Amino acid sequence: MSGSRRGRFVPVLVALVALVLAGTAATADTLVEKVKEFELDNGMKFLVVERPEAPVVFCAVVFNVGSANEWPNVTGISHLLEHMMFKGTKMIGTTDYDSEIPYIEKTDELGERTIELRKQLGEWRFGVFKGFSRDVLATFTDEENEALGASKAAQNALLVEKVRAMERMPDSLAAMKYLLADGDTDYLALYLEYEEAWGEIHRLLDEQRRFMVKDELWETYMNNGARFLNAGTSYDFTVYFAYLPANRLELWLDLESDRMAEPVFREFWSERDVVMEERRLSENDPDEMLEEAFYSVAFTACPYKWPVVGWMSDLLTIDRKELTAYNRRFYAPNNATVVLVGDIDYKRAKKLARRYFGPIPAQEPTTPVETREPEQQGERRVVIEHTANPRLMLAWHKPSHPDPDEVVFDVITEILASGRTSRLYTSIYEKQELTADPPNCSTGPGNRYDNLVIVSAEPRAPHTIEEVEAAIVAEIDRLKTEPVTERELQRIKNQIDAQTIRQLGSNLGIAFQVLFGELYLGDYRKIFDRYERIKEVTAEDVMRVAGTYFTERNRTVGWRVKVEEDADAAGGGEPEVDMQAIQAYVMSLDQAERMEIMQRFQSLRSDEERQALGLELYERAKAAGFVQDDDGGAEKGESK
């Protein structure tokens, strides 16, 4: 994965780099010898590394599906499915699954109806009616709100009742041509049907919850000593993982095979709202806004052009039937790889794997993504406006494995932006003092298909984006004309070698090294061949590759320019909050606290309640030192 901030959607995966602990590292050759593999009759692959140093085991199952496997109309479905896989099975998360079935079927019927109604209304008309509804909700008396409590069903019922009791619509609505009706179509009636349907969905979900055991899968893991329990969706894959006591390996195999074989997507319609709220957060995050616009311009054909969380218009139309079909297609044993690293016995692991995963039938092999990005024919530029500070992104298209030039970019990114001795740090940040922080250089947004080498930076006042862009381009042009010294090249190779050794010093590091070798290179053994190829990179290779790829024709540039805040917004209304600071603060909390926040969010019934929670988290982030002031420092303490 890249170092892109796009990783907000897979925060735990990004954090893994920091979690890899130093220890007695295995050499690459030793690790290759230690990896034992087997494949079940249904095509499911297992990679096992026996490390009896401590009585723990790191377990991960990776599905060969990410947002790059999606298509228009269903973007974001991989990430949505990841959420839904924690909702239980026919055995987990329920006291009486058979009693849940009628509720699931009815909510699906109503949910599909809401999708159809919204399409009939059209988004412009729906937005006007939704705003009108919020105005009506604001007129509810304290007594009415107290009687409604947290019941979304009762709230919607009263809303519809009040609207239908109105003798005439407000002039602001009545004056809008074709809003309330067009010919024989009564659009207000359709909208009220939409609100009634959603109220009924919530009523049925409340009743269904009598049979549900909330978070039973999660709690079962935690009660059995799990650490680092989480999941993540990227452009290229979806992973579920946990650290467990070694004597809980069979429990992991049992639970994971159960949710692969018989997942139940209960609470689908409310959980879809949670994912859509993530989408809204990204739309309000200035960095996400820039990156989404940037990648949509940098790529014209490759599916890396849409975000992992998907587009809102697609999320609005995905139903549970589509999700179930997507799950059946991609979450098949022949599309999955399991890595087990720790104090385990290979023969026992193989026996248990056959018992639990063996009976799950294989599915038709998935069709690989064959669309490739065509050669760029000229520089592309995109500019967005925001009240946040300016930011610059530069990127050049580059090849992926197995192109031999791909490993040269590992060396180039280290030369440019790895540590205090890197070129962008010493020149742009330290000597010229052009940027607020050291520029970042990474590859991404995915790694399976031809991707980008990306440089990003934020100008330091009073310097401008133009100055920073020119300075970065000049520094990159040096790679084409001035050979890297042998000393600098050797230092970079030593750094890469040291990073590899550190990662091989923990179960988690070994597991992801092996997995990335399987996913990106087709064979875990090739990950170590790749490191050997990095050692063979010469100064001439760096100059040749820089000259070939770092051209104006192959470049995409993204600017976020700062505009003054709207006067009305500045004079009142909602306070401005730093969504990135909130995200960083939440990720700093322990697992239990993060889970509590998610549970609170899922229980909320209105945008106003969600806004209140967001403001509360923002204040907590400020108190913890995660909110930066205008000078780049934290308001309280140091930014973490």
Average pLDDT over residues 213-237: 95
Average pLDDT over residues 344-359: 98
Is residue 393 within 8 A of residue 386, CB to CB? The reply is no
- pLDDT-derived band at 344, boundaries 50, 70, 90: very high
- pLDDT-derived band at 3, boundaries 50, 70, 90: very low
Which tokens go with 604?
A: 């909320």
Average pLDDT over residues 201-206: 96
Q: In the predicted model, is pLDDT for residue 209 greater than 90?
A: yes
Structure confidence at residue 9 (pLDDT)? 38
- pLDDT-derived band at 606, boundaries 50, 70, 90: low
Q: Which residues contact 90 (CB under 8 A, 6 or more apart)?
A: 97, 262, 264
Structure confidence at residue 622 (pLDDT)? 77
Structure confidence at residue 640 (pLDDT)? 32
User: Which of 32, 65, 527 is CA-nearest to residue 337?
Assistant: 65
- pLDDT-derived band at 592, boundaries 50, 70, 90: low
Is residue 248 within 8 A of residue 223, CB to CB? The reply is no
Inter-CA distances, 254 with 60, 218, 225, 337, Å: 13, 14, 16, 16
Residue found under tokens 């603060």:
585
Q: Which of 220-229, 382-391, 609-618, 620-629 has the lowest mean pLDDT?
A: 620-629
Q: In the predicted model, is pLDDT for residue 184 greater than 80?
A: yes
> Which amino acid is located at 365 in the chain?
P
* Angle at 191 (CA atoms; ends 190, 197), nearest 5 degrees: 90
Average pLDDT over residues 363-375: 94
Q: Which of 112-116, 273-277, 457-461, 600-604 has the lowest mean pLDDT?
A: 600-604
CA distance linking residue 595 with residue 600, whole number of Å: 9
Is residue 315 within 8 A of residue 276, CB to CB? The reply is yes
* Angle at 86 (CA atoms; ends 83, 90), nearest 5 degrees: 130
Q: In the predicted model, is pLDDT for residue 529 greater than 90?
A: no
Share of the chain above pLDDT 90, in %: 76
Share of the chain above pLDDT 70, in %: 87
Average pLDDT over residues 236-243: 96
CA distance linking residue 4 with residue 62, whole number of Å: 21
CA distance linking residue 442 with residue 489, whole number of Å: 18
Between 187-208 and 152-165, two packed helices, what is the crossing angle to 10 degrees? 160
Q: What is the DSSP string of 259-270?
A: HHHSB--TTHHH
Which tokens go with 174?
A: 């009545």
> Which amino acid is located at 576 in the chain?
E
Q: HSE on the CB side for 450, CA within 13 Å?
A: 20
Average pLDDT over residues 600-614: 64
- pLDDT-derived band at 615, boundaries 50, 70, 90: confident
- pLDDT-derived band at 13, boundaries 50, 70, 90: very low
CA distance linking residue 336 with residue 355, whole number of Å: 17
CA 295 to chain centre: 15
Inter-CA distances, 537 with 452, 555, 627, Å: 20, 24, 42
CA distance linking residue 461 with residue 521, whole number of Å: 43
Is residue 243 within 8 A of residue 508, CB to CB? The reply is yes
Q: Which of 342-356, 498-512, 535-549 has the lowest mean pLDDT?
A: 498-512
CA distance linking residue 437 with residue 440, whole number of Å: 9
pLDDT per residue over 309-340, tens digit each? Answer: 999 999 999 999 999 999 999 999 999 999 99
Average pLDDT over residues 271-279: 93
* Angle at 588 (CA atoms; ends 582, 589), nearest 5 degrees: 100
Q: In the predicted model, is pLDDT for residue 583 greater than 80?
A: no
Q: Which of 203-217, 427-441, 528-542, 594-608 has the lowest mean pLDDT?
A: 594-608
Structure confidence at residue 311 (pLDDT)? 96
> Which amino acid is located at 451 in the chain?
N
Peptide bond into 333 cis (omega under 30): no
CA distance linking residue 426 with residue 114, whole number of Å: 56
The C-alpha R_g of the chain, in whole angstroms, comes to 26
Q: In the predicted model, is pLDDT for residue 65 greater than 70?
A: yes
Structure confidence at residue 22 (pLDDT)? 30
Average pLDDT over residues 243-270: 97
CA distance linking residue 150 with residue 466, whole number of Å: 52
Structure confidence at residue 217 (pLDDT)? 96
Average pLDDT over residues 578-596: 67
Q: What is the mean pLDDT of the chain?
A: 89
Structure confidence at residue 552 (pLDDT)? 97
Average pLDDT over residues 574-595: 65
- Which strand (E) or helix (H) includes residue 278? helix 268-284
SS3 531: helix
Structure confidence at residue 502 (pLDDT)? 81
Is residue 253 within 8 A of residue 356, CB to CB? The reply is yes
- pLDDT-derived band at 609, boundaries 50, 70, 90: low
Average pLDDT over residues 505-530: 89
Average pLDDT over residues 573-580: 58
Residue found under tokens 């709100």:
145
pLDDT per residue over 437-463, tens digit each? Answer: 999 999 999 999 999 999 999 999 999
Structure confidence at residue 605 (pLDDT)? 53
| Overall size of the chain counted in residues | 640
SS3 478: helix
Q: In the predicted model, is pLDDT for residue 472 greater than 50?
A: yes
Is residue 452 within 8 A of residue 437, CB to CB? The reply is no
Is residue 581 within 8 A of residue 626, CB to CB? The reply is yes
What are 397-403's contacts with CB under 8 Å, separation 24+?
397/298, 397/373, 397/450, 397/451, 397/452, 397/549, 397/554, 398/443, 398/450, 398/451, 398/452, 398/453, 398/549, 399/450, 400/447, 400/448, 400/449, 400/450, 400/451, 400/520, 401/520, 401/521, 401/530, 402/521
Average pLDDT over residues 603-617: 68
Q: Which H, E and C letters describe 159-196, residue by residue?
A: HHHHHHHCCCCCHHHHCCCCCCEECCEEHHHHHHHHHH
CA distance linking residue 8 with residue 308, whole number of Å: 10
Structure confidence at residue 579 (pLDDT)? 66
Q: Which residues contact 253 (CB under 8 A, 6 or more apart)?
A: 352, 353, 355, 356, 357
CA distance linking residue 16 with residue 239, whole number of Å: 12
